[in-house]
Amino acid sequence: MTPTNFLSTRFLPGPFLVLVGTAGGPRYEVMVGDLRMASEVVRAYIEEAGIGVSKWTGGPVFLDKEGPRECVAVVSYNGRIWAVSSQRGPEGQYLADRELEYALEG
């Protein structure tokens, strides 16, 4: 599926917290400066841990700010970064809106 719209990251300043982990396994929070780095962290974690696509639960990306967390993006298994869907997965996980992909600039 090809996204219909690309979103600019220019107006989405970091830093961010990206969550990486597997279904039923430990989850880790990693601070990153931008969405490109979030993608790199996800891909490195997947490769280092030898995770297959069926075990990947998605890499939600949150603004690093005080107060309630706001999920602004989801990193997919292949490292692409998507806007967050208004729907949630069966276990409450954040899902990617496959119509809105962030274009990594620079």
pLDDT for residue 2: 55
Task: Please count the residues of the chain.
Answer: 106
pLDDT for residue 56: 84
User: What value does the mean pLDDT take over residues 63-71?
Assistant: 83
CA 10, distance to chain mean position in Å, is 17
- Give the C-alpha separation, 43 to 37, whole Å: 10
Residue with the larger pLDDT of the pair 7 and 32:
32
